[in-house]
């Protein structure tokens, strides 16, 4: 069993002061609502329903922590850019997410998910800009790759790759067809300092 398969639900935080101790290493999954964050976590951990997925955007509404071992965690973030959430909720989340990203010392990297059919939305660009400015390593998963032909998938990959800089990387991913799972785990291994 690898480290990811032993992932266990740990806790959910609705507010910044509910976050667990800021120690060890954590990697957070971010991206637009419905991009496939929770599905990616389930496939990477090889657990069918560790993170709750849904056809309804805005499913994940808390910062959810999954423990890999005593010092390592995966974090499922609420999706950004979901229009149907009431403004007050949106503002609460924006502020909480910002605080989390800006202050979390144990945050080693971000897995940023974008639907391969429409990557680099305004929100994604903002996120990438912020990562660049704050030297936060990012690995992008272009999700739902099963929805595009091979040629169109490669084209999207090249397009996104050409916009990256520094400690940023990108790959194609499909939770449905289990495409790119090992590649994603490899990047996580680097951040979690796992060798072998």
Ligand X SMILES: Nc1nc2c(ncn2[C@@H]2O[C@H](COP(=O)(O)OP(=O)(O)OP(=O)(O)O)[C@@H](O)[C@H]2O)c(=O)[nH]1
Q: In the complex, which residue's CB is closest to ligand X?
A: 79
Q: Using CB under 5 A, which residues numbered 116 to 135 contact Mg ion?
A: none
183 binding ligand X? (CB under 6 A): no
Q: How far is CA 20 from CA 54, 148, 155, in A?
A: 26, 39, 40
Rule CB under 6 A: say whether 12 interacts with ligand X: no
Question: Distance from first CA to last CA of the chain, Å, rounded?
Answer: 13
For the segment 38-97, give every residue that binds Mg ion (CB under 5 A): 38, 59-60
Contact partner, 186, from Mg ion, ligand X, none, Cβ < 5-8 Å per class:
none
Residue 75 interacts with which of ligand X, Mg ion, none, CB < 5 to 8 Å by class: none
In the complex, the smallest distance separating the C-beta of residue 30 from Mg ion, rounded to whole angstroms, is: 11
Instruction: Determine, following the binding rule CB under 6 A, whether residue 172 of this chain makes contact with ligand X.
Output: no
The per-residue b/e assignment along 95-109, b for 16 or more CB within 10 angstroms, e otherwise, is ebbeebbeebebbbb
Q: Which own/partner contact pairs does 125-132 have at CB distance under 8 Å and 24+ positions apart?
A: 127/30, 127/80, 128/163, 128/164, 128/168, 130/101, 131/168, 132/165, 132/166, 132/168
* CA separation for the pair 126, 113 (Å, rounded): 14
Binding mask 73-112 for ligand X (x = CB under 6 A): ------x---------------------------------
Question: Which one, 2 or 62, has the nearer CB to ligand X?
Answer: 62
* Residue 119 touches which member of ligand X, Mg ion, none, C-beta under 5-8 Å by kind: none
Residues at the site binding ligand X, with contacts judged by CB under 6 A: 31, 33-39, 53-55, 57-60, 79, 143-144, 146-147, 174-176
């Amino acid at each position: 069993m690898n480290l990811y398969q032993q992932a266990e639900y740990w806790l959910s935080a609705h507010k910044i002061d509910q976050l667990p101790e800021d120690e060890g290493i954590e990697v957070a999954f971010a991206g637009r609502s419905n991009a496939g964050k929770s599905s990616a976590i389930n496939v990477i951990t090889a657990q069918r329903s560790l993170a709750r997925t849904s056809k309804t955007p805005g499913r994940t509404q808390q910062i959810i922590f999954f423990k890999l071992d005593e010092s390592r965690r995966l974090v499922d973030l609420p999706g950004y850019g979901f229009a149907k959430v009431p403004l007050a909720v949106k503002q609460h989340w924006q502020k909480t997410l910002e605080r989390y990203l800006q202050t979390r010392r144990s945050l080693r990297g971000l897995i940023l998910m974008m639907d391969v059919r429409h990557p680099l939305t305004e929100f994604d660009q903002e996120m990438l800009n912020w990562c660049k400015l704050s030297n936060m390593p990012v690995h992008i998963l272009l999700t739902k790759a099963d929805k595009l032909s091979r040629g169109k998938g490669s084209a999207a990959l090249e397009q996104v790759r050409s916009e990256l800089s520094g400690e940023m990387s990108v790959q194609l991913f499909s939770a449905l067809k289990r495409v790119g799972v090992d590649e994603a785990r490899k990047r996580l291994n680097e951040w979690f300092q796992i060798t072998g």
